[in-house]
Structure 1
Amino acid sequence: MGKLYLIPNLLGETPIERVIPDDVIHIIKNIKVFATENVKNTRRYLKKIDKAINIDELVFLDLNEHSDIKDIETYLPYLANQDMGIISEAGCPGIADPGAELVALAHKHDYQVIPLVGPSSILLALIASGANGQNFSFNGYLPIAKPERIKTLKAYEKQSAAENRTQLFIETPYRNVQLFEDMIATLSPTTRLTIACDITTENEYIKTMLIKDWKHVKPDINKRPTIFVLYARSF
């Protein structure tokens, strides 16, 4: 009986040895079946892991937002006699990606699920923010429509202040600037905002300031992978 490994991917153009442990690399090199959010991205990643990996010998199964549960169920037979890996487009699978469906099925059918150590932009942003790491929520994407987005931001801020809760969320990179502008115009001047961008890469940018201080700064976050951390308590 095979095992289902949750394989971390890079967060950007980062040297493999900086963020992926040797033990994880050894496991990856011995897996022949991968359920992946982005096949092209995964092929490129595996070649970075080891140029000697023969991509043509591997099986790649689509596991993205368009994957139907019935399709995902057809992947289970692979686990009957070999290991399988889940790889998301960036970071750790199962968080802000569709990998959870296959993981749940594996548990249901008594296959062992093994999470592997690697970079998570959400956790790295949280621990670098200075915000409360004992009570926090990852809220995914905000609504696209501006009225709903502003309403949601205010709700997150209110909850953060009432419950001492850190709020984390993400945005499609080309909407980062608009979201930043909405936060500056909407949130309380004394609310903390952390912007964590291109984490683990040479261009990494992580900064925490009060909203009133962010009004005088224009961070370069357009089209760059970014985690936003909101904490409604002043320094």
Structure 2
Amino acid sequence: MFRQQSFAAAGGKLYVVATPIGNLDDITYRAVRVLREVDWIAAEDTRHTRKLLAHFGIATPLISCHEHNEATRAAELVARLQKGESGALVSDAGLPGIADPGAQLVRAAVERGIPVVPVPGASAALAALVVSGLPTKRFRFVGFLPRQSRERARALDRLKTATDTLLFYEAPHRLAETLEALLAVLGDRRAVLARELTKVHEEIVRGSLTEILALVRAEGVRGECTLVVEGADEEGDAAQEDVWWEGLSVAEHVAAYEARGLTRKEAMKAVARDRGVSKREVYAALLDSAR
């Protein structure tokens, strides 16, 4: 049923407030005003947010609202909003609910007819996209890929033919593994690694997935990472990519992946996935070709 949000409704409002992703100067005047005026602030990590509030001289009470307590906390906070209190929702950095807690509280407020007001600001994904040099007309935010290799491969398979520019978040200790998976499933596309955006050690690396993977392996990486990856070719090259290895022997297929930067073990996994066979069969074929 269509329902129009009324800003004159009885009760309080929930403000969804973006906070800086690094440089504190990126907070908006409006965000500072809202954070000062509301009755409480629901924060992903109250210790982290307390430092932000102290910097701007804000004394509003903080309430924890993170992935482990959001389901129960949402009911409590919505009840307070219904009594007329106003509240702000923040995450540690950027926009709440984008690869961060917050969506459950927003949904609960919407379901009870409480006005939800956006206070926009910094976003690591969009910041990385606009400086990437890759197409920005259409993009798809993926966020964090699954940690398990099988689920991650399935998720990437679904993105294989997407022509949108792809946006990923990743932790530094998993970055090399994720780059290997992207290379194995999507092929060697243009990409950008944006690290520590807006912070002192901000770094933006442009190149192919192979080149970025080689750099990460050689030098390592620290800090929060955003990956921007070129979408599939709109003219159909993506469909051809599915069978790019047709006509190659298993050994040649493995060698092609190794040339893209994968280890022998990773290349064998990729070949097994491409051909729909087991890794044992790939290994046996390699042994036969070496005789």
Name the TM-score, length of structure 2 as normaliser.
0.68
Aligned residues: 221
Structure 1 range deviating more: 123-132 or 59-68: 59-68
Aligned to 1:227: 226
Q: Quick one: which of 65, 68, 76 aligns to 2:67? A: 65
In the alignment, which of 124, 129, 152 is matched to residue 127 of structure 2?
124
Kept after mapping to 1: 8 A contact 2:176/2:213: no
Q: Residue 159 of structure 1 aligns with which residue? A: 161
Secondary structure in 2 matching 1:94: coil
Decide which structure has greater strand share: 1
Contact 1:131 1:166 in 2 (8 A): yes
Q: Which moved more, 1:209-218 or 1:84-93?
A: 209-218
Whole-angstrom distance in 2 between the partners of 1:68 and 1:26: 25
Aligned residues of 2:44 and 2:90 also touching (Cα < 8 A)? yes
Contact 1:176 1:223 in 2 (8 A): no
2:144 paired residue among 127, 141, 145: 141
Could you tell me how far apart the structure 1 residues matched to 2:150 and 2:38 are?
Answer: 47
Residue 39 of structure 1 is matched in structure 2 by 46
* Equivalent runs, 1:210-225 vs 2, <5 Å: 210-214=208-212, 217-218=215-216, 222-225=221-224
Could you say what secondary structure the match of 1:77 adopts? Answer: helix
- The aligned residue for residue 289 of structure 2 is none
Give the 3-state SS of the residue equivalent to 1:82 in structure 2: coil
CA shift at 1:195, angstroms? 0.8
Q: Is the partner of 1:139 in helix, strand or coil?
A: strand
Instruction: Give the percent of matched residue pairs that are identical in Structure 1 and Structure 2.
Output: 28
Runs of 4+ in 1 over 4 A off after TM superposition: 184-187
Computing the radius of gyration over CA atoms, which structure comes out larger, 1 or 2? 2
Corresponding residue SS for 1:196: strand
The equivalent of 1:22 in structure 2 is 29
Q: Distance between the aligned counterparts of 2:154 and 2:175, measured in 1?
A: 17
Distance of 2:187 and 2:67 partners within structure 1:
35
Output one character per residue of 1:89-111: Cα deviation in whole Å (capped at 9) or x when no partner: 11111211220111112222222
Contact kept in structure 1, 2:179 and 2:213, CA below 8 Å? no
Residue 16 (structure 2) aligns with? 6
CA 1:147–1:69 in 2, change beyond 3 Å: closer, same or farther?
closer
Which structure would you say has the larger RCO, counting Cα contacts within 8 Å and 6 or more residues apart? 1
Q: Does the CA contact (< 8 Å) of 1:192 and 1:230 recur in 2?
A: yes
| Distance in 2 between residues matched to 1:149 and 1:109, nearest whole Å | 36
**For the Cα contact (< 8 Å) 2:195–2:226, is it kept in 1?**
yes
Match for 1:171: what amino acid?
Answer: E
Change in Cα spacing, 1:26 to 1:233, as seen in structure 2 (3 Å) is: same
**The 10-residue stretch of structure 1 (110-119 or 125-134) with the greater mean CA deviation from structure 2:** 125-134
Q: Does 1:114 align with 2:132?
A: no
The structure in which a higher percent of residues are helix is 2
| One-letter amino acid of the counterpart of residue 8, structure 1 | A
Q: Equivalent residue for 1:196? A: 194
Quote the offset at 1:151 in angstroms.
4.7
* Contact persistence 1:86–1:99 (CA under 8 A): yes
How many angstroms apart in 2 are the aligned matches of 1:10 and 1:220? 28
TM-score, with length taken from structure 1: 0.82
